[in-house]
Amino acid sequence: MVACGPTENRRESHHQNVGEIKTGGSKLISIDGKYKVWTKKVGEGKIKVLLLHGGPGFSHDYFECFEDFLPKENIEFYYYDQLGSGNSDVPTDTTLWNTARFVEEVEQVRKGLGLENFYILGHSWGSLLAMEYLNKYQKHVKGAVLSNMTGSIDDFINYSAVLKSKLFTSIEKQLFDSLDMAKAYSSPRYTSLLNEKLYTKVICRMPLEQWPEPLMRAFKKPNQSVYLQMQGIDEFHVTGNLMNWDFWDKMPRIKVPTLVLGGVYDEMDPESMKREAQLIPNSRLYLCPEGSHMSMYDDQSNYFNSLVGFLKDVDADHFVADKKL
């Protein structure tokens, strides 16, 4: 009986302090009252950035290089695994995989993190999602970074065809097309052509064996069901819900200071990213001169100098947009 009292007191004390338990910045946020998505705060600072990862169906992992650049500049940022990805819940209901629902998810995450007057950074599909979020919830955002994304899926498809002609020899193109016709998408030769002729040229400009560990980790665990439903089999087969996405006419609606950030060797057409910057009235363009789709790795210094400079300029009210033609 003597032991019971202190044990009960310890339990009571633990219950009272439960709100103070440290989690390393990780937090689960409820979505639609049904699901949980994972977030994590890194660093401390007045500038707060929410990261939207690519895919659809990838995870936050490849953003880990941000830890080496933003916190030391007193920039606070948030990882967030979208529903169906990474550390978040993975429902099997395929009706969830549409852009409008993802936009509402981002808004619920913003509320759950208590973010206001914050910065949003989207990469690839995450940039598409950021555009759509800004179209509806721009009032909460102080500045936006649209990283490595064009303004329509048609533009993406057309440039993919250009890249195939540019990067494949005529024999390789014939082989690729024949494998495509046979729907041999899982064959070693088809995969090899994608790896050697596409991924190491326009995704990340390094030999595959030299790809950084967080990037390799991200490529090992995408949710293929989400990717197939939203995008398709791969870059050359857009058959999913994103097929008809087009934001060109809505670009001028983005009024907050915006950095359009990409790479000269991107899988997105650099000319299209220039067009984005022309259409967004209060924007700045930077194309990493040695960068591709993962410019945060293959042109790291330029990518982060541009990003940090933009965030600090906006925060200090020193941002100057590029002149428009």
The CATH number assigned to the domain holding 117 equals: 3.40.50.1820
Q: Which of 85, 124, 295, 306 is catalytic?
A: 124
| Residue at 259: amino acid letter | L
Q: Give the whole-angstrom CA distance, residue 292 versus residue 60.
A: 19
Tell whether 181 is covered by a domain: no
Helices (runs of H) and strands (runs of E) counted in the chain: 11, 8
Model confidence at 5, in pLDDT bands (50, 70, 90)? very low
Cβ neighbors of 33 (< 8 A, separation 6 or more) are none
Mean pLDDT of 286-303: 98
298 included as an active-site residue? no
Mean pLDDT of 252-273: 98
pTM, 2 dp: 0.92
Q: Which of 61, 81, 155, 266 is catalytic?
A: 266
318 included as an active-site residue? no
Judge whether 287 and 150 are in contact, CB under 8 Å: no
Cα separations in angstroms, 209 against 174, 188, 206, 213: 27, 17, 8, 10
State the pLDDT at residue 56.
96
Laid out side by side, the sheet with 258-263 consists of 26-31, 35-42, 75-80, 47-52, 118-123, 141-147, 258-263, 283-288
Tell whether 58 is covered by a domain: yes
φ, ψ of residue 2 in degrees (nearest 5): -65, -35
| CA quadruple 80, 291, 202, 273: dihedral sign | positive
Tell whether 31 is covered by a domain: yes
- Which DSSP helix (H) or strand (E) runs through 296? helix 295-298
Tell whether 281 is covered by a domain: yes
Q: Which of 88, 272, 293, 295 is catalytic?
A: 293
Q: Which of 60, 66, 93, 106 is nearest to 307 (CA)?
A: 66
Tell whether 13 is covered by a domain: no
Cα separations in angstroms, 302 against 235, 305, 308: 26, 5, 10
Q: Helices 99-113 and 125-137 sit at what angle, rounded to 10 degrees? A: 70
Mean pLDDT of 26-47: 98
Q: Judge whether residue 298 has pLDDT over 90.
A: yes
Q: Is residue 216 packed enough to be buried (19+ CB in 10 Å), middle (13-18) or exposed (0-12)?
A: middle
Tell whether 46 is covered by a domain: yes
| pLDDT tens for each residue of 189-210 | 888 888 888 899 999 999 999 9
Judge whether 236 and 263 are in contact, CB under 8 Å: no
Model confidence at 24, in pLDDT bands (50, 70, 90)? very high
Q: Where are the beta strands (DSSP E) in the chain?
A: 26-31, 35-42, 47-52, 75-80, 118-123, 141-147, 258-263, 283-288
Cβ neighbors of 11 (< 8 A, separation 6 or more) are none
Tell whether 263 is covered by a domain: yes
299 included as an active-site residue? no
State the pLDDT at residue 18.
55
| pLDDT tens for each residue of 118-168 | 999 999 999 999 999 999 999 999 999 999 999 999 999 999 999 988 988
Domain that holds residue 64: 25-157+213-315
Domain count, the chain: 1
